[in-house]
Every structure is written in C-alpha cells, then in structure tokens.
Chains A and B, each alone.
Chain A
Amino acid sequence: MTNKLHPALIVFTVFVFFFLVGPLIIVVGSALSDTTYLTFPPQGLSLRWFENIFQISAFRRTIITSLQIAFLSTFIALLIGIPAAYALNRYRIQLPGWLSTLFILPVLVPELVLGFSLLKNVATQFDAPIFLSLVIGHTLLVLPYVVRVISASLASFDFSIEEAAISLGSPPLKTFFTILLPNVRSGVIAAFILCFITSINDVSISIFMTGPGISTLPIQILAHMEQFFDPTVASVSVLLMALTVGVMAIVERTLGLTFLAK
C-alpha cells in the first residue's frame, strides 16, 4: 500500500495501545510495591506479596486445582474433538449439516447459563462431585476451539495421502498417528494453548461449581478481593500473566509469531 496514513490516525493508535498495555503494567507495578495497600507507582520494591500467595493455603490449593482442571479438560477435548473435526471434514456428506453447529454451541450459549444449568440439572440432580462437574464444564467450554482449529488445519490436508497409506495396508489407528497427526501438528499445539488459557481463566462456569473445599484460582481471586485490597491479588495476576508470556513464547518457538496474526 502506498497510501500514507494521516498523522492523527497514528496518534490515535498510539493512545489505544497505551490504553491496552498500560493497565497491565500498573498491575505489575503494584505487585512489586512494599506497602500493605495497592498503590502505583510502587513504593519500595519487594517480592513479599509473591511469597504471600504461597502462604495462603487457599491460593496454593486453587492453583493446583486450576492446573489439574485445565490439563484434564484440554486433554479430553483434544481426545474427542480431533476425531470429531476429522469426521466433519472427511465425511462431510455422510454427516448432517447441524453437527458442526452443535460443536460451536458452547460458544453460542452464554457461559453463565451453561454453568448454572450444569449445577442445577447435572451436579445437584445426580450428586456429581464438584471436581468432575468442573472438568465437564471446562471440557464443553474448550471443545469448540479444538473443533474449529483442527478443522482449519484439516482444510489444507490432502486426504489422498491417507488413502495411499490405508491402501498400502496401514491400519486406521497407525495411519492416524503417523500420517494425519503430524500434518495437523501446528493446529494441535494452537488448540492446546487456546484451551488451556481459556480454562485457567474461566469465571462464568466455575463460579457456579465451587463448593466446600474446592475452588479455582480466578474464583479464589474474586473471593480474596472481597475481603482484602492488598497487593496479593496483583502478584497472583502477575503469575497468570507470566503463564501467558510463557505460552506465547511456546507459540513463537514452535509456530512463529506470524501464527498469532491469523
């Protein structure tokens, strides 16, 4: 493009990115403050609020629960979502058209409604353990990402390669692992990351399914904020942001940064 941008547009964009990044810098700054209240710029530098996270047992417990749920639900969603995405692409004619709509329903139905309905009609009705209900809820929440991302990778996959392997005598499962999976590798990595991040940050489903003794990290952060307004929450937020940075670094290493632009 040879069209020059109007300077006002550039100034506007600079402001927007300042607006996007500024608040997160403020969170990092307040986490490092040596005061007992939240303040920015930080007064004195200390890491004591990071230590404080691990001294509060509720934070220790919920960090572990959140990680367990994120890994489990992501794993289950990949396990059932990859075959579903494959079926949608490979057997398009055999399967009814509404099936692909069904798999995006968890995005269409408000999360709060899904969480409440799981609580009301599954968890209390069948006395399901809270942990199990959380895993089910999060698996539903992340399933659309798996189906969509893997479908996009499969769109450019040449199914005749797979035909060749099968006609040469390769059993279906082996074909899947040696032919199909390596070809959609980047899709699987992207889906894994999207699912994991979505699960670990979820509030709207989890809020209905935390009970005695079990909770997730975002819900614990909300509960802590109701009682204390100290830098602990800021330092937990920094931990979560560090996790995001780590994940983005993995994307960069394996897929290249341009992947994010898609």
Chain B
Amino acid sequence: MRRFSGWTLATPATLLVVIFLVLPVLATIATTFTTPAGPFATYTSFFSSGFRRTVLWRTIQISAFTTIISLVIGFITAYVVSRAPGWLKSILIIAAVFPLLTGVVVRSFAWLIILGKNGILNSTLLSLGLIAEPVTMLYTQGAVIVAMVYLFVPLMILTLVGVLESIPDDLLQASSSLGAKPSATFLQVILPLAVPGLIVGAVLVFTGSFTAYATPQLLGGESQMVMGTLMYQQAMVTFDWVAASTIAAIMVVITIAVVLLMTRVAKRLNPMAV
C-alpha cells in the first residue's frame, strides 16, 4: 500500500511560499545592493536625507508609544477579564474579538469621525465650554497613536487573557495563604509569570504599528508620514522603486531583528522553563 510521503503533501504550500514570497522579497532586497552607484548607495542616501531620518524616527516613536500604552491598557484589562465570572468573561471576550475582526479601514474611519474638525470630540468640548474654537486633532502624531492603540488593544487583551488564565490557581492560593497581600501577589507572582506573554504581545504590536499603512495614511496624512506611507508614496506616486525597495529592506530587517531578539529575551525570562 503506497502512502503519500511528507514532502508530497507539503510541496504545494512550500512552493507557493518560496516562489511568491521568499524569492520576490529577496529580489526586492537584492536590487538595493545592485544600483550603479555602488552596493550601499541607496542606504547612504536614505540616512543622509533629513526628511527620511525624521520619518524613520517618527515611526519608531509612534510604534514605541503604541506598544507601551497597549501593554498597560491590555494587561490591566486582561487581568480583570480573566478574573470575571464565566458569563461576563464571554461577553467581554466577544467585545474584544469583534473590533479585532472588523477591518483596519473601518476602525480608522471611526476615529476620523471622532477627531475631525467638526467631529464628535470637538463639538462635545465646544458645547461643554472647555474650548473656544475647534482644536486640530487630525493629522497629528497623537491622532495616529490613539487610532493605533485602538487597533492593537484587543489583540493585546486576547493574548494576555490566555497567558493569565494559564497561571495555575495553586500558585496564587499559595501566595495569599503564605500571607502575601493581593498587590504583592500581583507584582511578585502574576507579573513575572506574564512576562513572556507581555513580550509576545509587545512584539505583535510593535511590528504591526511599525509597518502599518492604512491608519497613518488616514489619520496622519502627509504631515505625519511614516515608513509604510513613505514606502507607498515612493512606489506608487513617484515611482522610485529603488527607494521603495530600500524602505522595504529596512522594514524587513527591523521587523525580523525585533522578533528574533524578543523571542530570545522571552525564553530567558520565562520562569516556568527551568
């Protein structure tokens, strides 16, 4: 009786990924080293441009803020959700999954309505008399960060609820029966055990916001250009494909470096894996 071998079954998917992902992406990166001006010319020109350095720095800033804010909000919320009674927990998890399944465009559009010049936030503040005239909130770094946090908090909550629920109840009972206050249990038992999960969440959010396109495009526009929107502009508006490839290569390197570094850190900090 002849059976399929492992390779026969895995080949179609392997070929698809190699032909349409690995090779094209490598080709994109390769073109940045084969310009007539020399192998590193495109990178020298990227980093010598003040505008592009600003874009890179802004992207790092936005991603870092988004990650930190999402971590704090996500962790506290996940802690409460994981302690909620069964029925309430299901409802809260649905409330977190629903935005996650709603597209990026829809969720960014919502903030366009809220933060606009005649938007809800401005008209509310005006009618409360807190401001005299509408404040410009769109096309600022703050607007991009708020919308990105909105984008990533559900992901963080769901990641961390899973992590917090996997902490054995015995440990918490042991901690409190040995006299630890709830705050001590939280800081000395729960937090260290959640560190690997926090790192996974942080990596997801950082890489996601570092390479985002739709949200910074809609809420930041031209004045808050980030790596993603700059790359799109170079590729599809000015048709400078070498410059676009350079940005692509920088995004790939930073993404993969963050993932590798943080997985290593997560492994070392995991108190359960002795």
Q: Using CB atoms and an 8 Å cutoff, list the residues of chain A in contact with chain B.
A: 1-6, 9-10, 12-13, 16-17, 19-21, 23-24, 26-27, 30, 37-40, 79-81, 83-84, 86-88, 90-91, 94-95, 99, 102-103, 105-106, 108-114, 116-122, 136-137, 139-140, 143, 147, 166, 172, 197, 200-201, 203-204, 207-208, 218, 221-222, 225, 233-234, 237, 240-241, 244-245, 247-248, 257-258, 260-262
Contacts and interface: CB of A to CB of B under 8 A. Distances in A.
A244 to B, nearest CB: 5
Contacts of B7: 87, 94-95
Nearest to A251: B97
Contact of B4 (A1, A110, A172): A172
Contact of B93 (A6, A117, A122, A260): A260
Contact of B10 (A83, A110, A200, A234): A83
Nearest to A167: B1
B41 interface: no
Contact of A80 (B16, B106, B211, B228): B16
Given A86-B9, A113-B248, A218 B105 contact: yes
Given A1-B172, A218-B105, A248 B3 contact: no
A106 B17 contact: yes
Contacts, number: 260
B251 A113 contact: yes
Interface in B1-53: 1, 3-7, 9-10, 12-14, 16-18, 20-25, 27-28
B103 A261 contact: no
7 contacts: A109-B21, A113-B251, A121-B28, A136-B16, A172-B4, A207-B213, A240-B106
A221 B217 CA distance: 13
Given A20-B154, A108-B255, A114 B21 contact: yes
A117 B231 contact: no
B80 A10 contact: yes
Contacts of B23: 121
A214 B110 CA distance: 26
Interface of B: 1, 3-7, 9-10, 12-14, 16-18, 20-25, 27-28, 73, 76-77, 79-81, 83, 89-90, 92-99, 101-107, 109-114, 116, 118, 120, 150, 153-154, 161-162, 169, 172-173, 176, 182, 185, 207, 210-211, 213-214, 217-218, 228, 231-232, 235-236, 241, 244-245, 248, 251-252, 255-256, 259
Contacts of A117: 21, 24-25, 27-28, 248
Contact of A260 (B12, B94, B118): B94
Interface of A is mostly: helix
Contacts of B172: 1, 3
A221 B105 contact: yes
A121 B213 CA distance: 21
B20 A136 contact: yes
Contacts of A108: 255-256, 259
B81 to A, nearest CB: 7
A23 B110 contact: yes
A167 B200 CA distance: 43
Nearest to B154: A20
A109 B113 contact: no
A2 B185 CA distance: 13
A23 B83 CA distance: 26
Contacts of A6: 182
A10 B85 CA distance: 13
Report, nearest first, the 10 A-B pairs whose CB atoms are least far apart: A91-B6, A201-B103, A23-B110, A110-B211, A84-B13, A117-B24, A83-B9, A87-B9, A121-B24, A80-B12
Contact of B90 (A208, A218, A261): A261
Contact of B105 (A88, A201, A247): A201
B83 A3 contact: yes
B256 to A, nearest CB: 7
A24 B17 CA distance: 36
B101 A197 contact: yes
A245 B89 CA distance: 18
Contact of B9 (A19, A84, A258): A84
A116 B229 CA distance: 12
Contact of B232 (A16, A112, A245): A112
Contacts of A80: 12-13, 16
A94 B4 CA distance: 12
